[in-house]
Amino acid sequence: MPIQQLPDHLINQIAAGEVIERPASVVKELVENSLDAGAGTIDIDIENGGSRLIRIRDNGRGIASNDLALALSRHATSKISSLDDLECVVSLGFRGEALPSIASVSRLSLASVQTGAEAARIDVDGGAAGDVVPFALQQGTRIEVRDLFYNTPARRKFLRTEKTEFRHIDLAVRRLALSHPSVAFTLRHNGKVVLQLPAASSIDAQERRLAQMLGESFADAAMRIDETLEGIALQGWIALPTFSRSQPDLQYTFINGRWVRDKTLMHAVRLGYRDVLFHGRHPAYVLSLSIDPARVDVNAHPAKHEVRFRDGQGVHEFVFRTLQRALAATTPGQSHDAPASFVQAPASIVSQVAVPLNEPTASALAAATSVATVDSRHDNYTFKTTPPVDGAQALRDMDALASGPPLGFALAQLKGVYILAQNDIGLVLVDMHAAHERITYERLKTDYANRNVVRQPLLVPERVALSQREVQLAHQHNDSLQHMGLIVEQAGPEALVLREIPSLLSTQNAAQLLRDVLSDFAEHGTSERTESVTDEMLSTLACHTSVRANRILTLAEMNALLRDMERTERSDQCNHGRPTWTQLSMKALDGLFLRGQ
């Protein structure tokens, strides 16, 4: 064949192959046009999963009647006109490709009106445009797309069931609606309303909309994020770590109002949750990043789902730090609900358990601390040095307090595993091992960061048999080991002697501890001693040495632990993301006994 220029119609169909994958892509492109036109209300009607009809109506600024034909031709756009514009795109569209592409693979009807002008309509059948004719339309633009892919049978064959295609449409609309809270949306399928979202300008209204779209339980567990630094803003909601998902299905990220799957952003968020999430679980969040359009290239992907930042590292750091700081506040009395109420309490109780905790008053906190006489800074709950405390007296002290600290005061220990405590609301249950693990871990992290891990010499230095490789690793990472508070010496090709350990840790199982840390080194390689690798090792340390189950604690020791939890960042969950405590309100307890019913 000789070289020949392809006809426009075919060029458009090729372009459609890139941007119009399925009915949901049509919906996305058309709704984006409505948003770019400044619409405050967008109505979407779908028939048959979108393969029979997609109709979008908006109240945006509309298209002039003599521009209708132009809007349907390739590379025609009102959104950019120069390279400078392209380098700082503020609209969702800019390539002038969507309308001609869609028109080339469907039967399209475009009607529009601008204020003070006459409404008009143009129909296109598989790319062949008819005349512009007068039409009755009050406001904005109405686009109908019928019989999608009717003239491209190969594409049509790839359409899935009506239900599946509609699910994709529904998701596309949710993404657009989440990033444009001030726009009202209605989505209908085969005449039935599926989503009806009024415009939401206040944060309260936005939270109601969030609940409507992503579920009440997400909204209940969500923390508001609103942080600005040097011209970048991060806003939205992140779920408490204890509301985690088995799938990454509740993760929405937006950049300048555009839904994206950006690796930088998603990685930064994952890192922010690193320390608090149960292994293998996924965080839930809706986060919008606003940044000067000149600092991000949106022209990096056909469907614009990926972007390129000028300063990816800076963005990553900002997002990571913001999330890390927000999640550090998941401590009793700070986060609004008991963490465990989402996961573990029987369903009948769950609905009644989540009662907001009162902020502790300063005087109550002072009183609470005085009850806990144990020096908690260096007490590793080995319970040797604890002064005896009269339990009955402690109980009386506690009754005297009108409103106490968030976790209240210890009543007793259950089976060596749980601490039972009483606060304003009712009964508090604490998993003492999980809680202590977090406390030790956070202390180790602080000490480590300050190069201040206090060591304790072992009375009898412990000889640890290891493989040659492990001994090698210990050599290689000797600095890190020291920094962590572990002092070792070589004792032959396959053994080390452990001389000192961090004094926060108890001395049992010191050998096993060393082996685990070395295996962390082996797994995470040598060069990269990032914060996360260090944290993982500190977590290993903490896990090893915290209060094991079946330890008998005195009330004073229990109270000291409760006070420590209140002071410790992220203490709503243990190092592995399991909740550390839960609350049973009096109301929930009364419910168990059918009291007052």
**Which of 9, 79, 455, 587 is the binder for ligand ADP (CB under 6 A)?**
79
Smallest separation (angstroms) from ligand ADP to the CB of 56: 7
Smallest separation (angstroms) from Mg ion to the CB of 164: 25
Instruction: Tell me: does residue 276 bind ligand ADP (CB under 6 A).
Output: no
Smallest separation (angstroms) from ligand ADP to the CB of 342: 41
The secondary element (H helix, E strand) that includes residue 253 is strand 251-255
Beta strands 251-255 and 285-290, pairing class:
parallel
Indicate the DSSP class of residue 245. Answer: B
Nearest residue to the partner ligand ADP, using Cβ: 93
- Selection from Mg ion, ligand ADP, none that 447 binds (CB < 5 to 8 A by kind) is none
Angle at 469 between CA 466 and CA 472, to 5 degrees: 95
Which span sits near ligand ADP by CB under 6 A: 69-77, 267-275, 478-486, 554-562?
69-77
Neighbours of 594 (CB within 10 A): 7
Indicate the DSSP class of residue 575. Answer: T
Smallest separation (angstroms) from ligand ADP to the CB of 273: 36
**Which of 60, 181, 283, 406 is the binder for ligand ADP (CB under 6 A)?**
60
Q: Is residue 120 within 8 Å of 80, Cβ to Cβ?
A: no
For residues 395-414, which are near ligand ADP according to CB under 6 A?
none
Smallest separation (angstroms) from ligand ADP to the CB of 301: 14
Instruction: Tell me: does residue 176 bind ligand ADP (CB under 6 A).
Output: no
Which span sits near ligand ADP by CB under 6 A: 27-35, 151-159, 211-219, 584-592?
27-35
Which span sits near ligand ADP by CB under 6 A: 10-18, 45-53, 97-105, 204-212?
97-105
Instruction: Tell me: does residue 74 bind ligand ADP (CB under 6 A).
Output: no
**Which of 59, 77, 109, 251 is the binder for ligand ADP (CB under 6 A)?**
77
Q: Is residue 115 within 8 Å of 127, Cβ to Cβ?
A: no
Smallest separation (angstroms) from ligand ADP to the CB of 228: 29
Give one word for 231, left, alpha or beta, with left for phi > 0 and alpha for psi -120 to 50. left
Which span sits near ligand ADP by CB under 6 A: 96-104, 200-208, 244-252, 306-314?
96-104
Which span sits near ligand ADP by CB under 6 A: 46-54, 87-95, 246-254, 396-404?
87-95
Please tell me the distance from the alpha carbon of residue 41 to that of residue 470, in angstroms, as a whole number.
65
Which span sits near ligand ADP by CB under 6 A: 28-36, 251-259, 389-397, 473-481?
28-36
Alpha helices per DSSP H over 147-281:
153-157, 162-179, 203-214, 216-221, 263-273
Residues of this chain that bind Mg ion (CB under 5 A)? 33, 93, 98
Alpha helices per DSSP H over 425-553:
432-449, 468-476, 478-484, 510-524, 531-545
Instruction: Tell me: does residue 94 bind ligand ADP (CB under 6 A).
Output: yes
**Which of 15, 24, 27, 71 is the binder for ligand ADP (CB under 6 A)?**
71
Angle at 126 between CA 122 and CA 129, to 5 degrees: 30
Q: Is residue 227 within 8 Å of 322, Cβ to Cβ?
A: yes
Instruction: Tell me: does residue 127 bind ligand ADP (CB under 6 A).
Output: no
**# residues near ligand ADP by CB under 6 A:** 22
The SS3 of residue 484 is helix
Could you tell me the CA-to-CA distances from 190 to 197, 212, 521 in Å, in that order? 18, 21, 58
For residues 132-161, which are near ligand ADP according to CB under 6 A?
141
Q: Is residue 438 within 8 Å of 447, Cβ to Cβ?
A: no
Q: Of 576, 564, 568, 574, which is closest to residue 438 (Cα–Cα)?
A: 574
| Both tokens assigned to 406 | 């968030």
Q: Which residues of the chain form contacts with ligand ADP (CB under 6 A)?
A: 29, 33-34, 37, 58, 60-63, 71, 76-79, 93-99, 141
